[in-house]
Structure 1
Amino acid sequence: MSAPRPASPAPRRILIVRLSALGDIVMASGLIPALKTLYPQAELSWVCEAGCVPLLRHNPQLQQVIVWPRSEWEALLKAKRYMALWRAIRAFRARLRAEQFDLVLDCQGLLKSGLIAWLTGAPRRVSIIAREGSHRLVHEVVTPPPGVDPVMGSEYRFLAHYLGAPQGSFVHDLAVGTEPRQRARETLQQALQSAWGDAAAARPVVVLAPFTTRPQKHWVESNWSDLAQALLTRGLQPVVLGGPADQEAAARICAGQPQCLNLAGKLKLDESVALIADAQLLVGVDTGLTHMGSALRIPTVALFGSTRPYLEGPTPLTRILYDALPCSPCRRRPTCNGAFTCMKQLTTERVLHAALGQLEPTR
């Protein structure tokens, strides 16, 4: 870890660079209150990809959310329109430099995020675990020691403390928009009415988040169906969330169970945040929606196996189910030839027991 620079005037304009993914932006959101505690007069901005903007745009502590036009740049590159790409990059650089950021935090530590930090021309640029040569684009590199902090968002909390933020100021900060909350409640109510008819009643909502990017992070699909049925028999209301690409799998999970509500692909991202904020429990794999449950202080059960982003949630409301097998966490390089033992040995009974245990104090 680079040594902190000598004391300098407090920054007036700070830019957080975390372009993706959803879960990492959720975990990095604790930097917002930490930085506002450390520099109460500073204006905070965030740059990210377009798909992540809904997670941030409702936060009143952010002056602005800047969209990195990744898809535009990639389209120009693919079309070999190199001059047009160069002009697009120059225009983006001009916009960033016009903001006159005096502190930029590269919270991704990759070449693409380091490049954006460098484009700002800020006099102080700090990166977490700079990789792919991005250390050449910043002034300071912060490398958290491995295994010291098992709590969600540890690397971002380490960065906050490196900058001087006081203990306890790093608190995950997902703001819920008024309109998304209203739309989420209306969508849920319509789904309840459709599923239950005149028997519709207020039941504790349990969000199920089964979907993620890699097969080794998935729980057994049939287990989700069994879990949903077990929740229904206990007077709870399971609601499956996911994106448009998850609709087919969500339909299989809910097949034969019309009271298991399938809202996959039916809510925008900020509406999903709002529905989670209203829920009484969330059960999910290593995916952004699960991390949202923890960040929003919703009783959460997180199922980890090939990945283990953290061992403890920000509060006891999060329960981690993870077995430290000799091969886990394997991350992107499974050695089990598709057996995925780490996830399959998380039985429905075990997950249900953990879920009911997390729900009990709130019932």
Structure 2
Amino acid sequence: MLNDNPERILVTRLSAIGDVVHALPVAYALRCKFPNARIDWLVEDKAYPLVNLNPYLDQVIILPRKYWRENLKERGFIKTARSFFGFFSDLKSNNYDLNLDLHGLFKSALSGFLSRSSLRIGPADGRELSTLFYQAKIALPDKKLHQVERNLHLAAALGADLNEVNYGLKITPVIKSRLNRLFKSEKISSEKKIVIINPFTTWESKNWYLDRYFRLAEQLIAAGYYIIFTGSRSDRTALKKFTADQSAYTNLAGKTDLPELAALYEKAQLYIGGDTGPTHLAAAVGLPVVALMGPTDPETHGPYGKGHTVIQDNSLECIRCWDHHCSRNMQCMKSISVEQVLRIAKKKLNE
């Protein structure tokens, strides 16, 4: 066991949304082990609102990498460097006893090094030379681990409990009130069961076909369900192509922040989408998920927990290829039919 009684702990998981969701149970595990310690979390701005919901953390600190990159030309190197070193000077002043790097990349390991934590710990299989910055490297089991379990194994090196998964997503009354106002302004029906459809991911190869999502939505509407599309602001235009009775669906892509999205998923009855951040957020708040997967591995990156269903064609030789851009005509996603997804969705909605 490493550092039996740290008083100040810095956890590092900077991005992306789904990976941050998978890391959140570490906060609860550490809080149970070290109830009196100060536990802070270093994260980039995009995932900050999500981590900031966690009641088991004392402070959530934004690493402003995006700001530094975007302002380097405008403000110049000297001013950007001054901001960079000023940030890490402030971080250093927190006098952390321990930095637990869950991310395992150069950017996260360097951040831990510059925090001047007394002990820096990270995964032994960290990438991009990250292990050069660690004073202790945590070896993980040889067996395949889901990302949630992988993160908890890293925390277990400090004596934390592996067995309880608590994401700490505390949806406050203020967040719920904001969502209720959005429901009223969008005239969203609360009389029918709500099915969330989140069609887009950050990889081209993980996307199911939009026309199939639309056909699926049409058939779910015909079966009496209310459809809510979610996604980013950039997804909104594509989703506007869906045409159906306006009283039967709404397009909330780009209209919610992450806490509101979590609150929305709490109100729904089913979620359908690919391997992307919102899918893992839905699973984290307990919403049953139907995940359509191809190039990624459900055992490590599927929706975590009970009550979820992964649709994946394991008969293909190229399945779980991990390619961002497919050179095989998207066979893994093409093999998933509307009828297959509809059948599973209806079954789950009737459970």
**Secondary structure of the structure 2 residue equivalent to 1:222:** helix
Counterpart selection for 1:113 from 83, 89, 108: 108
- CA shift at 1:313, angstroms? 4.0
**Secondary structure of the structure 1 residue equivalent to 2:304:** coil
In structure 2, the residue matched to 1:102 is 97
- CA shift at 1:116, angstroms? 0.6
**Secondary structure of the structure 2 residue equivalent to 1:298:** coil
In structure 2, the residue matched to 1:138 is 134
**Alignment partner of 1:353 is 2:348:** no
The residue identity in structure 2 corresponding to 1:329 is R
Counterpart Cα distance in 2 of 1:226 and 1:76: 44
In structure 2, the residue matched to 1:210 is 199
The residue identity in structure 2 corresponding to 1:357 is K
Counterpart Cα distance in 2 of 1:20 and 1:152: 13
- CA shift at 1:334, angstroms? 4.6
- From the superposition, tell whether residues 103 and 360 of structure 1 become closer, same or farther in structure 2 (CA, over 3 Å): farther
Counterpart Cα distance in 1 of 2:166 and 2:293: 22
**Alignment partner of 1:276 is 2:265:** yes
In structure 2, the residue matched to 1:196 is none
**Alignment partner of 1:303 is 2:292:** yes
Identity %: 31
- CA shift at 1:321, angstroms? 1.5
In structure 2, the residue matched to 1:341 is 331
Q: Deviations over 1:266-297 (max 9, x none)?
A: 11222111101221111111111100111111
Mapping of residues 76-225 of structure 1, within 5 Å = 76-78=71-73, 81-128=76-123, 129-145=125-141, 147-149=143-145, 151=146, 153-192=148-187, 200=189, 202-225=191-214
In structure 2, the residue matched to 1:57 is 52
- CA shift at 1:143, angstroms? 4.3
The residue identity in structure 2 corresponding to 1:101 is Y
Counterpart Cα distance in 2 of 1:60 and 1:230: 40
- From the superposition, tell whether residues 171 and 60 of structure 1 become closer, same or farther in structure 2 (CA, over 3 Å): closer
Larger deviation, residues 24-33 vs 152-161:
152-161
- CA shift at 1:309, angstroms? 5.1
**Secondary structure of the structure 1 residue equivalent to 2:240:** helix
Counterpart Cα distance in 2 of 1:45 and 1:291: 23
CA-atom RMSD, angstroms?
A: 2.0
- From the superposition, tell whether residues 269 and 126 of structure 1 become closer, same or farther in structure 2 (CA, over 3 Å): same
- CA shift at 1:245, angstroms? 0.6
Counterpart Cα distance in 2 of 1:255 and 1:50: 35
- From the superposition, tell whether residues 333 and 315 of structure 1 become closer, same or farther in structure 2 (CA, over 3 Å): closer
Conserved in 1, the CA contact under 8 Å of 2:231 and 2:254?
yes
Counterpart Cα distance in 2 of 1:257 and 1:331: 38
In structure 1, the residue matched to 2:64 is 69
In structure 1, the residue matched to 2:228 is 239
The residue identity in structure 2 corresponding to 1:174 is L
Counterpart Cα distance in 2 of 1:147 and 1:332: 22
**Secondary structure of the structure 1 residue equivalent to 2:42:** strand
- From the superposition, tell whether residues 217 and 62 of structure 1 become closer, same or farther in structure 2 (CA, over 3 Å): same
Conserved in 1, the CA contact under 8 Å of 2:22 and 2:148?
yes
- CA shift at 1:132, angstroms? 1.2
Larger deviation, residues 323-332 vs 76-85:
76-85
The residue identity in structure 2 corresponding to 1:271 is E
TM-score computed with the length of structure 2 as normaliser:
0.92
**Secondary structure of the structure 2 residue equivalent to 1:331:** coil
Larger deviation, residues 303-312 vs 108-117:
303-312
Counterpart Cα distance in 2 of 1:120 and 1:147: 32
The residue identity in structure 2 corresponding to 1:173 is G
- CA shift at 1:79, angstroms? 5.3
- From the superposition, tell whether residues 40 and 287 of structure 1 become closer, same or farther in structure 2 (CA, over 3 Å): same
Q: Deviations over 1:162-181 (max 9, x none)?
A: 33222323333322232222
- CA shift at 1:219, angstroms? 0.6
Counterpart Cα distance in 2 of 1:76 and 1:225: 40
Structure 2 unaligned blocks of 5 or more:
none
Conserved in 1, the CA contact under 8 Å of 2:149 and 2:162?
no
In structure 1, the residue matched to 2:250 is 261
Counterpart Cα distance in 2 of 1:74 and 1:182: 35
- From the superposition, tell whether residues 346 and 140 of structure 1 become closer, same or farther in structure 2 (CA, over 3 Å): same
Conserved in 1, the CA contact under 8 Å of 2:9 and 2:37?
yes
Counterpart Cα distance in 2 of 1:70 and 1:264: 26
Conserved in 2, the CA contact under 8 Å of 1:307 and 1:329?
yes
**Secondary structure of the structure 1 residue equivalent to 2:40:** strand
In structure 2, the residue matched to 1:197 is none
- CA shift at 1:333, angstroms? 5.0
Conserved in 2, the CA contact under 8 Å of 1:246 and 1:264?
yes
**Secondary structure of the structure 2 residue equivalent to 1:179:** helix
Counterpart Cα distance in 2 of 1:315 and 1:72: 36
Conserved in 2, the CA contact under 8 Å of 1:229 and 1:257?
no
Conserved in 1, the CA contact under 8 Å of 2:56 and 2:168?
no
